[in-house]
């Protein structure tokens, strides 16, 4: 029998009565092979968005949609509790606890409305309610299915800094606390069912790890215990050649290397949060992505190194991904050649707006710097650049700082690209034939990916065209 397994279930995996039933079966099944199991859960699908929308509306003074949010939350959780928790005491207690959390959403939103603003800290407290509700529901459902389990909030052991909405764990303290909280349960044969996405500062203020962060929670918990494997259960058969919502012929990849998934996740494949990979790689833990709605499928297994030059069926491109809602920002001027530290100052200005830059291209002439930023950050970035370079702009060393309309970053990934000449050529001729207009390019420093920027309107065309390099 193998030792320790961490399984994370995403929002859709705990989003309906049938899904929750499958989850209980999957856990029952895993018990045959694993002596110690930890479950990490997301909020039921749609809940985190609803919570954050309610808080955002409240910050504008709008509280009239709160009663509707309250009933939606009850409608999501209560029928599942009614259907899946036979034990009346357990069922009523679970529903009462969830109801208390729903009422605290109302209180929090009213307080936000009075203040007229929602601080990042307040947003995290609100966002945390989703996982704090689902963990109680799932814990009770699993117990009621005859599996000894205990719901436990990760705020008690995932200790983070106070960088609200994108908090970073303190691995040392988290290791001690996680072991101290979870091991005694597992020693008694109890499966801890814990919240993904959330942690707390040393002072106890609730934080979140960033949207989609439950995958990261599973990786953190797996790394610090340590577990032998982390399995991410979601609503598709694993990591696919591209987002099946864009190309329905997308295929599941039975294997993918850590460096490939890192690029894919970073460049927009929502199937795995990009921060998930590092803790498991560092701790040498196996990672697998599988489908709650098709558990018999083996899903995708992460591997350290690709076989045969990383080619799949002789193709070097393994997957294509897209990040939408970006703008390209360009700083240009012939006088830039002589100005020292332009790039450092430019990125310093960007950093001052707390924006991260997914892609940078530099023209070899040094007469321009061009990079992508998320659309919502583009104007603040332009303003910061104009202020940092006000002298150079006045002196006309810098001619202009400007941005495009919305663009998308399209990335092709495959470790075999490192050894295969001409992949870039194939990529560009394929795009040329599809008539998607390429605005900028960048090759990842890992040589495992090539990214290009296209107009927002060309996103699907570009993804479909590049996907043909895989399936043709």
Question: Where do contacts with ligand ADP occur on this chain (CB under 6 A)?
Answer: 10-13, 42, 212, 234-236, 239-240, 242-245, 264, 269-271, 319, 321
| Three-class SS state of 437 | coil
- Select from ligand ADP, ligand ASP, Mg ion, none the partner in contact with residue 211, using the beta carbon and a kind-dependent cut-off of 5 to 8 Å: ligand ASP
Q: 59 or 276, CB closer to Mg ion?
A: 276
- Pick the piece of the chain touching Mg ion (CB under 5 A) from 43-51, 147-155, 204-212, 316-324: 204-212
Q: Most distant CA pair in the chain: distance in Å?
A: 76
Tell me the CA distances in angstroms from 357 to 3, 327, 347, one per residue in order. Answer: 40, 10, 9
Which residue is it, tokens 């009850």?
A: 74
| Binding-site member from 212, 268, 310, 414 for Mg ion (CB under 5 A) | 212
Tell me the CA distances in angstroms from 353 to 161, 384, 444, one per residue in order. Answer: 20, 7, 24
Q: Strand (E) positions, 172-221?
A: 191-195, 198-200, 206-208
- Select from Mg ion, ligand ADP, ligand ASP, none the partner in contact with residue 459, using the beta carbon and a kind-dependent cut-off of 5 to 8 Å: none
**Token pair listed for 348:** 């310093």
In angstroms, rounded to a whole number, what is the distance separating the alpha carbons of residues 282 and 278?
6
Q: 201 or 291, CB closer to ligand ADP?
A: 291
- Select from ligand ASP, ligand ADP, Mg ion, none the partner in contact with residue 43, using the beta carbon and a kind-dependent cut-off of 5 to 8 Å: ligand ASP
- Pick the piece of the chain touching Mg ion (CB under 5 A) from 110-118, 176-184, 206-214, 371-379: 206-214
- 207 cis-preceded (ω within 30 degrees of 0): no
User: Could you tell me the smallest distance in angstroms from the CB atom of residue 437 to ligand ASP?
Assistant: 33
Each residue of 118-135: b (16+ CB within 10 Å) or e?
beeebbbbbbbbbbbbbb
- Select from ligand ADP, ligand ASP, Mg ion, none the partner in contact with residue 196, using the beta carbon and a kind-dependent cut-off of 5 to 8 Å: ligand ASP
Residues of the shown chain interacting with ligand ASP in the complex, contacts defined by CB under 6 A: 10-11, 42-43, 48, 130, 196-197, 211-214
Closest CA to 2 of 229, 330, 234, 264: 229
Q: 56 or 439, CB closer to ligand ASP?
A: 56
Q: 278 or 345, CB closer to ligand ASP?
A: 278
Q: Footprint of Mg ion on this chain (CB under 5 A)?
A: 10, 212
């Amino acid at each position: 029998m193998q030792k320790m397994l961490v399984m994370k279930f995403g929002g859709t995996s705990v989003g309906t009565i049938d899904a929750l039933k499958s989850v209980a079966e999957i856990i029952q099944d895993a018990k045959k092979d694993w002596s110690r199991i930890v479950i990490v859960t997301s909020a039921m699908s749609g809940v985190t968005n609803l919570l954050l929308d309610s808080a955002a509306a409240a910050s504008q003074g709008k509280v009239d949609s709160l009663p509707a949010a309250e009933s939606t939350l009850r409608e999501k959780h209560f029928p599942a509790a009614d259907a899946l928790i036979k034990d009346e005491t357990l069922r009523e207690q679970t529903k009462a606890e969830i109801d208390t959390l729903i009422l605290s959403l109302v209180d929090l939103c009213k307080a936000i409305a009075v203040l007229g603003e929602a601080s990042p800290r307040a947003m995290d407290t609100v966002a945390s309610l989703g996982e704090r509700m689902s963990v109680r529901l799932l814990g009770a459902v699993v117990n009621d299915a005859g599996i000894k389990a205990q719901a436990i909030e990760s705020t008690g052991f995932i200790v983070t800094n106070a960088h609200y909405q994108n908090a970073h764990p303190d691995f040392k303290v988290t290791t001690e606390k996680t072991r101290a909280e979870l091991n005694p349960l597992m020693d008694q044969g109890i499966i801890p069912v814990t919240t993904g996405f959330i942690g707390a500062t040393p002072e106890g203020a609730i934080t979140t790890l960033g949207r989609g962060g439950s995958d990261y929670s599973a990786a953190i918990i797996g790394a610090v215990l340590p577990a032998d494997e982390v399995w991410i259960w979601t609503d598709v058969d694993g990591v696919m050649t591209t987002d099946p919502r864009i190309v329905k012929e997308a295929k599941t990849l039975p294997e993918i290397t850590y460096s490939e998934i890192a690029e894919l996740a970073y460049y927009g494949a929502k199937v795995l949060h990009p921060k998930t990979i590092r803790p498991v790689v560092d701790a040498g833990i196996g990672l697998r992505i599988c489908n709650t709605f098709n558990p018999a499928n083996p899903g995708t297994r992460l591997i350290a190194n690709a076989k045969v030059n990383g080619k799949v069926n002789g193709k070097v491109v393994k997957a294509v991904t897209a990040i939408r809602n970006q703008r390209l920002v360009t700083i240009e001027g012939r006088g830039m050649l002589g100005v020292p530290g332009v790039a450092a100052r430019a990125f310093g200005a960007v950093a001052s707006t707390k924006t991260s830059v997914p892609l940078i291209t530099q023209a070899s002439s040094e007469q321009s710097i061009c990079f992508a930023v998320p659309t919502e950050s583009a104007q603040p970035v332009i303003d910061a650049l104009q202020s940092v370079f006000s002298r150079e702009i006045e002196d006309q060393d810098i001619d202009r700082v400007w941005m495009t309309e919305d663009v998308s970053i399209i990335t092709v990934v495959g470790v075999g690209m490192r050894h295969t000449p001409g992949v870039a050529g194939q990529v560009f001729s394929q795009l040329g034939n599809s008539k998607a207009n390429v605005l900028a390019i960048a090759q990842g420093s890992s040589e495992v990916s090539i990214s290009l920027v296209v107009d927002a309107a060309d996103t699907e065309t570009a993804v479909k065209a590049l996907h043909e390099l895989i399936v043709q």
